[in-house]
Chain A
Amino acid sequence: MRRLTAWMMAAALLAVTSLARADLTIEITKGNDSATPIAVVPFENLTGGSLPQDLARIISDDLARSGQFEPIKRDNLIALPGTTQDVFVNDWKRLGASYLVVGQVKTASNGGYSIQYELMDVLGNKRMLGEVITGSNGELRARGHYMSDEIFEEITGIRGAFSTKIAYITANGVGDNIRFALYVADSDGHNSQEILASDEPIMSPAWSPDGKKLAYVSFEAERPAIYVQELGSGRRAKLTGFRGINGAPAWSPDGRKLAMALSKDGQPEIYVMDIASRQFQRLTNNPAIDTEPDWLPDGSGMVFTSDRAGSPQIYRLDLSGGTERVTYTGNYNSRGRISPDGENLFMINRAGNGYQVAKQDLKSGRVTSLTDTQWDESPSVAPNGTMVIYATQQGTRGVLGQVSADGRAQFSLPSAQGDVREPAWSPFLN
């Protein structure tokens, strides 16, 4: 009987699953004055046909989105070399480019593409990187992101995070007729795929550390429950369905545990669930709201939001005992996310005119506001720590924003329709 009910529930879900895509497009809202100028020349096409993807555009957009580079506009390029052998370096010096990327695409013997790309240090007149890679039609965007990763790391020494993904929630409609959906897309907003749809809320997607699963909260049974879904197979399991709140799932760094907020024993408290044994350990015990846990990178503890002092503030909990308050700047700090190096806390901070993404240096305690928007939510840090994706509002529409970890570059990623919210940046996937 229970099985039958579950099947009917799944059938209802299936019925609302339409095939809409929700790709996001990137708009630059604040440029970085000190970004490094780089020229990315359109790749020379030696295939005899037209190419399904503009690889130079993908690389150029990726590098711009990092906030650390300012690609030179295509119209201003003075020559279109396909290899560094054809480069007259003084042309590019005069143009003000610090670096130059050139490439060539040929037809590979297996019918796919063979792509050669090279990176040149213009000021040092030196070839820094050169590689030949192959890919099929459908793999070209991924190859573009791969090249961006290699170029970014070669110049900055920081691992690129362009081949990562984001998960996010969309909501379309009003009142009782809202369609909620959970999407996974490339980190530039392309190739979006719907992985769950429901006419009840979906919340709080969280990536497993291996990037293969998502935990999330779904109200599909008209009560919140935490599910874990395998992205490859679509298979999923319901982990909790207690009375009250089942929320804010967060994976431990080793992927074996989920921290979460449950109100089964009263008000929301932080619990840790061992996924294999399904055993729970209660970590907080307080008449306040305790929620939004995020693990420290070494797994020794976590940060969480609590209003035990009156208004929401962020606390750090040591698994071996002890809890201390971390935030003191402003009367509203919540939804903390620790940077991959453990040195910074990203969070939502209420400043004079709204709720903004802020960064707190955990050593000095210094707080820097990173955005100038009013209704920010849900910051999520890129696995290389250079960027933060978050949800905000444009007019009355929910959009995603990205800001560099230093706040110098800011972008928005609106969807073609409806609200977009609760972005979660994947771990490295390669």
Chain B
Amino acid sequence: MQFTPYAKGLLVALSLSVMAGCSSSGGAQDGDMDSANSGANTAGMNTGANSNANQMSNAAMPDVRTIYFAFNKDTIRPEFESVLMGHAQYLKANTSANVVLEGHADERGTREYNLGLGERRAKSVARFLTVQGVSPSQIEIVSYGEERPAVQGHGESSYAKNRRVVFDY
């Protein structure tokens, strides 16, 4: 009796690994690659000269890798523009570097809607970077919504730390 859940858990885990092997060739994934390629376009090309100009002085990876947002907003706050400029310069100087922009929301509201909010914030950052001349092919966006809070707890001080976009190189 005592071992039943153990045995079942093990069985499920084993059969799960078998299926994971079988299911990895799903057709849906290929569409993914297409859109990544078609997304890489003009913005990267026409500002190439700019990026060279800044390359020497600003090529280090910026230390600040998280920026924060107001409630239900995806606009870049003025105080974070210099942070984003630093990342833009780094990415332009290092065209082989890629970044995942992780979008996050605070816990208020429903989870799937908050996935959308997190994505909006990450896209807002991506737009800023591409306007500065970063190639879209260097940027990927993943929204975690409210699933990975930076801090626990209710109240604006916690919420403010959770509404964020993180640069993951």
Question: Which A residues have a C-beta under 8 Å from some C-beta of B?
Answer: 2-3, 5-7, 9-11, 13-14, 17, 19, 21, 137-138, 174-175, 178, 193-196, 201, 203-204, 219, 222-224, 229, 233-245, 247-248, 261, 263-264, 267-268, 278, 289, 291-292, 305, 307, 312, 332, 334-335, 348, 350, 355, 374-375, 377-378, 393, 396, 421-422
Contact = CB atoms under 8 A, between A and B. Distances in A.
B111 A204 contact: yes
Contacts of B109: 312, 332, 334, 348, 350, 355
Contacts of B23: 6, 236-238
B29 A245 contact: no
Q: Please report whether the interface of chain A is mostly helix, strand, loop or mixed according to DSSP.
A: mixed
Nearest to B122: A244
B41 to A, nearest CB: 15
Contacts of B35: 242-243, 264
B115 A268 contact: yes
A219 B119 contact: no
Nearest to B24: A6
A243 B123 CA distance: 13
Contacts of A237: 19, 22-23, 26
A370 B33 CA distance: 45
B57 interface: no
A17 B152 contact: no
Interface string B1-40: 1001110110111111111111111111101100110000
Q: Nearest 8 CB-CB pairs, A to B? A: A10-B17, A289-B116, A234-B15, A201-B147, A234-B12, A6-B24, A10-B20, A335-B110
A244 B140 CA distance: 9
Given A10-B17, A235-B19, 8 more contacts: A13-B16, A196-B16, A201-B144, A222-B142, A237-B19, A243-B36, A263-B116, A263-B119
Interface residues of B, number: 52
Contacts of A193: 5, 8-9, 12
Contact of A3 (B24, B141, B154): B24
Contacts of A291: 112-113, 115-116
Given A204-B112, A264-B35, A178 B28 contact: no
Contacts of A196: 16
- Candidate in A5, A178, A312 with the most chain B CB atoms within 10 angstroms: A312
A242 B28 CA distance: 7
B25 A2 contact: yes
Contacts of A350: 109
Q: Please report whether the interface of chain B is mostly helix, strand, loop or mixed according to DSSP.
A: helix
A393 B146 CA distance: 14
B1 A11 contact: no
Nearest to A196: B16
B29 A241 contact: yes
Contacts of A3: 21, 24
B73 interface: no
A9 to B, nearest CB: 6
A3 B150 CA distance: 34
Contact of B32 (A243, A334, A335): A243
B148 A201 contact: yes
Nearest to A194: B9
A292 B120 CA distance: 17
Contacts of A219: 144, 147
B153 to A, nearest CB: 6
A196 B13 CA distance: 8
Nearest to B31: A242
Given A201-B144, A289-B113, A355-B108, A242 B20 contact: no
Contact of A234 (B16, B26, B28): B16
Contacts of B20: 6-7, 9-10, 13, 236
A5 B17 CA distance: 11
A322 B19 CA distance: 40
- Candidate in B9, B16, B23, B152 with the most chain A CB atoms within 10 angstroms: B16
B117 interface: yes
Given A6-B24, A241-B26, A292-B113, A268 B148 contact: no
A241 B147 CA distance: 18
A378 B16 contact: no
Interface string B148-169: 1010111000000000000000
B24 A238 contact: yes
B7 to A, nearest CB: 10
Given A233-B15, A234-B11, A375-B154, A244 B31 contact: no
